[in-house]
Structure formats: structure tokens, C-alpha cells
Structure 1
Amino acid sequence: MRGWSLPLGRWFGIDLRIHTFFFLLLGFCLLTANVDGLGAWRGIIMWGLLLLAVFVRELARLIAAAYHGLQLRSILLLPIGGLFSYSTPESAERAVEGNTQRALALAGPLANVAFAAVVAALIAGASSAVPLSAHPLVTPHHLIRSTVWFSLMLAALHCLPAYPLDAGRLLRAYFSQTRGSAQATRAVSGISQGFGLLVMLAGLALLAVPGNGTASGLTPWLIMGGFFIFVGAQLEDQGVMFQSVVETVRMKDVMLTEFSTLSPSDTLSDALYRAIHSLQDEFPVVRGGNLVGVVSKQSILAALRNSGNGYVQSVMVRTFQVAAPDDSLGLMIRRIAGGRMALVPVAVEGRIVGIVTWQNLSNSMGLLAEHRRFEREN
């Protein structure tokens, strides 16, 4: 999902990104305004109002997450809402607990309903001549009224028991109590894809009704909402399949056992010379056989350029995740998701016995799959 998104900056320590699907909707809004003979600016504003409805929802969820002590790394904005990425494994685990998950699930729809009520009250107070229920409900001709219905649509959408919608998350939590997390997610993903198809078919059926078409203004949005539900459920199903694979892989299965190490007392010049003769981009730093840090080629080179020669201990990273040989690869991926580490040391009682790098992981996984297939066949 991240590869199909664009950054919107870092706000209060949280990376905010917007998915490219939002820009597909911008094209649709511009087309709608053009068909109605209106200026492009009305289509852009209508798109901005949908983004505002999503923003209000995610702001409420962000407040709920902060109240429950969850630490967020990033938020990815989608047309149907946002996806949270947590900076610590503890936050990710706490987010799926009963009370916390219910709070997050309720915060979004309630915020959208409250926002719609406030805007509707402002409309009624400013002019009683603007009918809120007139058709089409969503149209570039009446942008303020469209704001009300965008918010209500988003709230109603998240009441569907389809993942990754809020009600779908609660359904997954319920299934997890009896089926386990992976099976529950796959079950809800299948239900969600069915809901997505039904919503799209319902929108297409409304288009086929003579005299109805897009009279309500909601029909095209219904089709697109179903599409986004279907795609989101498929992505979640693929994620679960990947997770089920990596959970069967142990760190000892993919770790490199032949690697170079550095000492904290090595000079940066000597470390750079050793790096020239190594394929590693990251090096464990050991003292007396015990792991004390991790350092990269880039940090060594940058320190030499900026400050001249020094010692490895001045540039090494002292905070890092250490794996045990029997830890699952899936567990380590969840632990370091927020750290963007390029090297994971594998140690026994503080002594390093191997390393896993993202540089060699894909190659190791491919070879491991071939090795397991060969063993099954023989």
C-alpha cells in the first residue's frame, strides 16, 4: 500500500500519506463538474470535501489512539478511511484488544455523524431555503450539502461488517476468539470481498433502473465504495498469506553465519577499509564476543567526511532489536516495522551467532523454499 501513496509530511511525529486512489477520485470529481457544465474548481472542492470527511474521521481515531496510549508511526489515507501503522509492537498488540479496538471503531463513525450534524445545523441556521434532502444528494452544484452527505456516507459505510471497515474489524476480533487471528482475518476477508461485490452490483443495478440513473448522486460513490472495500479485503488476504508463510520460518533458517564484525575501538578509517572488502552494508559491533552496537557503511563514510577520523563507538547505533535463533521471521518483522533496520543480529546469551539483512533476505527465502520443496520430494 505504501508504494502506491504519496507523503503529506510529518505531523506531530506521525508520517501522513495519501493513497493514489484519492487522485482517481479527483479525476472523477472533475469529470462530474465538467458534465454538469460547471467550472473545474467545483470538482476540486468536492474532492477536497471528501478528503475533509476522511480527515475528520481519522483525527477522531487519532485522539482515541492517543487516549489509549498507542504510539503511531504513520497514517495512510484511503477514500474509505485511514490505515494506522504503529511504531511499537506493544501498540500494535494493544490496538486489537477489546476496549481499545471498540473505541477506535466507534470514534470514526461518531465523528462523521457529529460533523455532518454541525454542518447541517449551520446550513439550517444560515438559510432555510437550502433543502438537505433534495436530489441529487451529492453534487458539485451544492457543495455544502454534499459535505453533510459525504460524512454520513462514510459513517454508514463503516457500519458494514467488511474489512478494513470499522465493523469488519470488530467482526474479525470476534472471530479471533475462537478461530485464531490468521483464520479469522481470512474469513472476514472473504466476507468483505463478497460485500464489496454486492455493493458494486447494487450501484450498477441502480444505474440500470430507467429514470433513476445517478439521480440521488450517491450511485457512482456506491460503486466506488464497493470497489475500495473489495481491493482492501484482497490486500488484507494477501497480507495474511504472507504472514502465515513467514511465521513458519525461523531466524536460524535464513541467518548468515559467515559475516564480518567491527570493534568499538576500531578507527573509522580502518572500518571503511574493511567495508571495501565486504558485501555487507551493516556491521555488528562486538566487544569481547558480546554484541554492543550496529554500524552502517553510510554512517562511517558520513562521519569521516564531516568530522574526520574517529572511532566506531562514536557512530554506532546502541539501540537495536536482537533475535534468538528460534524466533520466527514474522515476529521480527513486526518488532522492527517502525525502526527501518537493515540488519537484525541473531544472538545467544549476548553472543552473536548470525545476522539477517534485508539485502540477502529475499534471496535466502527463495533458496529456503527450494530446499524445503526438494526435501518433500525426496
Structure 2
Amino acid sequence: MNTKWKIGEYAGIGVFVHWSFLIIPALIGFSKLADGGLLAAFWAVLSVLAVFGCVVLHEFGHALTARQFGVGTRDITLYPIGGVATLESMPRRPLHEFLIAVAGPAVNVVIAAALAAGFFLLGSSPGLPSLNLGMHAFLNNLMWTNVVLVVFNMLPAFPMDGGRVLRATLAAVMSYRQATQIAVGVGQAMAVLLAVTGVFFLNNWTLVLIAGFVVLAGRAEARNVQLHDRQAGGWRPGMGTGQRCVGDVMLTQFNVLPAAATLREVSQYYASGQTEFPVIDGNRLVGMMSRADAESAGAQYGDSLLVSNVMERNFPIVAAADSLQHAGQIVQHTRCLGVPVVSVGRLVGVLLVSSLPVAPAGNGPVIDAVSWR
């Protein structure tokens, strides 16, 4: 069952909406409809969508800055508590993490400044946030919301942006493990403060949810850094486990198959010796097909069958920078014998499952992907 839906793509990065996100505009719309009528509901829902549009731009600030440092983004997903850009790996240097972290709030600064400038150019001026209806109030409230997004995201609540800025700053003068422990500790304290503020002062349960995210995500990343530190000895982001990574063992010479082609048309590629094929529809990666599955389906149904009817649609994706241990955890539940490899949003190889070492018993998953809020 799909829990999120793709609503767009830019620069090769897909934007998704989690099903729970739809609760927010629905609740606000029905509430305003009951209190103020159809017009009030319209402006309320439009405001919610505009705010989350700014959140998407915020996440693209992270993603496109990360790309400048060789770190790709798997996707951006909207949830009720905000947006998450999932990077393929950790930034390699503290300075890179710092710049990626501040890039998101910087986008909101630009939006707020542009809206304020627009008011002055039109001979008007922004005011305080209000409950009035109309375009002026809508743009004015959107400007102030972006200001709030800047301030809120820069709180040192790791792994939010401000927390990552704190860790990057500390990592310049101490080990990454120590910097992470301090940033997580400060983040946990901030989470308590957010929860208390939400319950007792603002009656805002969204702050409680965000506090829960800060606690869980912060602890998970701290465990991840500690595990890598034990395995590699002085691990820093981007170094993997000190062992070989996916890019070292993946196939770099490979063919891709169009989803609309027939099995007869693609059989010419079998002579290359390739057994696992990425399948594309236009520029989109839509599946994986093995030669064995194609030959079996062709023998049963005929070679006029389309690739799209044979390919595996549920397939994992690994990053070229992933450690082999991490890749093994990703692919352990797939029936695919080969999975696509991406780097900076591009398909760069095919990883054969047979190339992966057997994970030692008792080892849990190592999470190299990073969620940025």
C-alpha cells in the first residue's frame, strides 16, 4: 500500500505527499467553513498550501546545496509537521553540513524579503499578522510565516537545521561523535521545552509531535554515528564504514530497457552478459527486470509481452556512497537480484546482490541516509 504520492519533480528530485498531510488542509478547511463560511475556508486552505509550498522550497534549499557537495537527495516528502529531504548520505565536512543546514532557512529569508519588498513597491506596507480575509492579509501572513519558519528551524533542536548548525560548529573543534552527543543532548532539552510550550502555553499539539520527532530522530542519528565510530575508528560523515562502498562493486557498464519495449526487442541486450536491467519510462526509473524473469515470461506468454508487464515495480534504490553493509540491509527483503544505484539523483550503476558480503549475525541496520527538516 502506498503511503505517499508523488506530486511533482524538479532537478531530478521527486516531491511526495504523505497521506497524513491531507488531514491538515481538510481539518482547517472544515473548521473555517463552519465558523466563517466558504470564503474563509478558501483563504485558510490557500494559506496552508502556500505555507507548505514555502516548506518545499526550503527543502530544495537543502537538497540543491547538498548537490553542490556531491550529496544527492532521494526525495522530498511533506508531512503534517513539515517537510523532509532525504539525502543519500551524510555531508563529508562540517562546513558542508553547516552550509546545507542554513540553506533551507535562507530560502525562507529570501521569500519573506521578497514579499516585504513587494508591499513597498506597490505603495503599501506589511503589518502584523491578522485574521482578515483578502490578498493583502494572505501575503502579509505568508511573509510572517516565513519569518517564523526561519526562527523555528534555527532552534538548536538537533536534527533540525539549528541543531545541525550547532553540530557542524562543534565538529570543527572536536570529534564528530562528541559534537553529535552534545547536539543531541541540547536537542533533547529543546524537545522538552517545545512539548511543554505546546501543551501548557499554546495548546498546540503540533509542537508536541515535532518534539517527538526531535527525540526519536536525534537518538537514531546519535546511535548511527556511534556505530560507525566503533566500526571505522574516528568515522566522519561520508566515509561509510571504512570498508568498500557500493560504488566500488557496482556495474558501471550497463543497459537500460524502455518499459514500452517488447521482450523480443530487448533480447538483443542479453548478449552483453548483463542479467539485471533497470527499466525506464522516459527519464523516470520505474522498475527492474531480470533476464531470467523475461525468458520465463516469454516462454509462457510470448515475446510480444511488454517489459512493463514483467518488470518488478517494488525495488529498493541504493546510493553509490552507501557502505556494502548498509546496502545489504536495504536489499535483504527484495526479490530483485540487482538494484539500481544512484548518485546526485542520477542512475550510475547496477548493484548485483551477489556482490554483497554476508552481514555478520547480530548486526543491525546502519542508516546512512539523512532526513533534513
Q: Normalising by structure 2, report the TM-score.
A: 0.58
- Aligned partner of residue 84 in structure 1, secondary structure: strand
1:167 aligns with 2:159: no
Take 2:185 and 2:340, find their aligned partners in 1: how far apart are those partners?
Answer: 26
User: In the alignment, residue 42 of structure 1 is paired with which amino acid?
Assistant: W
Out of 94, 107, 115, the residue aligned to residue 111 of structure 2 is 115
Does 1:62 pair with 2:39? no
- 1 CA distance for matches of 2:66 and 2:72? 8
SS of the residue aligned with 2:74?
A: strand
Assess if the C-alpha contact under 8 Å between 1:73 and 1:85 holds in 2: yes
Distance 1:30 1:155, change over 3 A: same
If asked which structure has higher relative contact order (CA below 8 Å, sep 6+), I would say 2
Structure 1 position 196, deviation (Å): 2.4
| 1:24/1:191 CA distance change after superposition, 3 Å | farther
- Are the counterparts in 1 of residues 4 and 16 from structure 2 also a CA contact under 8 Å? yes
Distance 1:51 1:150, change over 3 A: same
Pick from 80, 102, 106 the counterpart of residue 102 of structure 2. 106
Alpha-carbon distance change, 67 to 242 in structure 1, aligned in 2, over 3 angstroms:
closer
Residue in structure 2 matched with residue 17 of structure 1 by the alignment: 16
Contact in 2 for aligned 1:246/1:330 (Cα 8 Å): no
- SS of the residue corresponding to residue 23 of structure 1 reads helix
> Does the alignment pair 1:82 with 2:92?
no
Query: CA 1:81 to 1:186, structure 2 compared with 1: closer, same or farther past 3 Å?
Result: farther
Q: Once the 2 structures are TM-superposed, how far is the Cα of residue 41 of structure 1 from its aligned partner?
A: 2.5
The answer (yes or no) to whether the contact 2:62–2:85 under 8 Å persists in 1 is no
Q: What does the per-residue CA deviation read over 1:247-288, in whole Å, with 9 as the maximum and x for residues that have no partner?
A: 8899xxxxxxxxxxxxxxxxxxxxxxxxxxxxxxxxxxxxxx
Residues 213-245 of structure 1 show CA distances to partners (whole Å, capped at 9, x for unaligned) of xxxxxx74xx52453243144134235546766
Call closer, same or farther: CA 1:180–1:334 in 2, change over 3 Å. farther
Q: 3-state SS of the aligned residue for 1:16? A: strand
Quote the offset at 1:58 in angstroms. Answer: 2.2
Contact 1:56 1:111 in 2 (8 A): yes
Using the alignment, how far apart are the partners of 2:228 and 2:37 within structure 1?
52
State the one-letter code of the partner of 1:237.
R
Q: Secondary structure at the match of 1:7?
A: strand
Q: Secondary structure at the match of 1:100?
A: helix
Deviation for aligned residue 1:148: 0.8
SS at match of 2:71: coil
Does the 8 Å contact 2:61/2:104 carry over to 1? yes
- Residue aligning to 1:72: 73
Match 1:153 to one of 123, 142, 148: 148
> Paired residue for 2:29?
30
In the other structure, the counterpart of 1:237 is 219
* Aligned equivalent of 1:343: 353
Number of paired residues? 280
Residues 27 and 57 of structure 1: CA distance in aligned 2, closer, same or farther (over 3 Å):
same
CA offsets, 1:185-204, max 9 Å, x none? 45433432331231232244
Which amino acid counterpart does residue 7 of structure 1 have in structure 2? K
Amino acid at match of 2:71: L
**What's the offset of the Cα at 1:303?**
4.4
Amino acid at match of 2:162: A
More displaced, 111-120 or 68-77? 68-77
Distance 2:12 2:319 in 1: 21
1:305–1:185: structure 2 CA closer, same or farther, 3 Å change rule? same
Correspondence 1:301 to 2:296? no
| Structure 1 residue 151: Cα displacement | 1.0
Contact kept, 8 Å, 2:98 with 2:169, in 1: the verdict is no
Percent of matched pairs sharing the same residue: 19
Q: Which residue of 2 aligns with 1:8?
A: 7
Cα separation, partners in 2 of 1:150 and 1:329, compared to 1, 3 Å: same
Alpha-carbon distance, 1:18 to partner = 2.7
Q: Do 2:52 and 2:82's aligned partners in 1 also have CA atoms closer than 8 Å?
A: no
- 8 Å CA contact 1:19–1:77 kept in 2: the answer is yes
Change beyond 3 A, Cα 1:341–1:67:
closer
Q: Counterpart amino acid of 1:171?
A: L
Pairwise CA distance, 1:154: 1.0
Asked if structure 1 preserves the Cα contact closer than 8 Å seen for 2:129 and 2:137, the reply is no
Q: Report the Cα offset of residue 112 of structure 1.
A: 0.5
Counterpart residue type for residue 301 of structure 1: D
Residue 173 of structure 1, CA deviation: 2.8
In the alignment, residue 48 of structure 2 is paired with which amino acid? W
Deviation, structure 1 residue 343: 1.7
The aligned counterpart of 1:352 is: none
TM-score (norm 1): 0.58
Instruction: Give the aligned CA root-mean-square deviation in angstroms.
Output: 4.6
Instruction: Return the letter of the residue paired with 2:355.
Output: P
Contact 2:160 2:214 survives alignment (8 Å): no
5 Å-filtered alignment, 1:118-197, equals 118-126=114-122, 128=124, 132-135=127-130, 142-176=137-171, 180-181=175-176, 184-197=179-192
If you compute each CA radius of gyration, which structure gives the higher value, 1 or 2?
1
Q: Secondary structure at the match of 2:36?
A: coil
How far apart in 2 are the matches of 1:138 and 1:227? 29
Question: Could you report, residue by residue, the CA deviation over 1:108-133 in whole angstroms, capped at 9, with x for unpaired residues?
Answer: 212211211211232344463x7521
